[in-house]
Amino acid sequence: CPCIQLKPHLHSLTNTRVTVSLFLSTPISAAHCAGIFAGNDIYIGGLKITGEDAPETILAETELLHPDYEDLILDNDIMLIKLNSPSKATPSIWNTVAAMPADQATTTTIGFGLISESGGCSDELLEVNIKVVPYETCQVASFEEINDNTMICASAPGKDSCYGDSGGPMFD
């Protein structure tokens, strides 16, 4: 999560940054990003990495990692962030169907991560459309083990999310 050197940001799906999602006024991010939120102000709703356009700033009190998070394999890589006060932002709308997107379904991910493997972070929120990849294909292409109960794999030719986009939403 290197692109959050400025200050942590938070965006709902409609106005989204590190890319964290807002669910029922509770920010959700990747557990491997733990340590950057608690005790810091989080900008909510802005589209610029500086937070200057964010309509709301709230102090993050604590980070609550999934109790079964495994940092070596990134299994259950999710955490909740407890805010000092409730956000006024509209919460994200989540999939109410308990199923993963179908293979080859187009999804969107957003973030302020690196804009290329050797580039810097984006100053503005970016989005990319990618397709869900079957687990078998992903397992062969990946250097890491993929847990099909807790992970999803998606990509597109010449497109991807990047380092610093961790914890951000994937939606359709």
In order of 52, 148, 152, the CA distances from 134 in angstroms are 40, 10, 9
Half-sphere exposure of 20 (CA within 13 A, CB side): 36
User: How much of the chain is in helix, strand and coil states, percent to nearest 5?
Assistant: 10, 30, 60
Active-site option among 25, 32, 66, 92: 32
Residue 166 is a catalytic residue: yes
DSSP category for residue 116? S
Cβ atoms of 110 and 16 closer than 8 Å: yes
State whether residue 141 is helix, strand or coil: helix
Active-site option among 12, 77, 122, 165: 77
Active-site option among 21, 87, 161, 166: 166
CA distance 16 to 98: 24
DSSP category for residue 140? H
Active site residues: 32, 77, 166
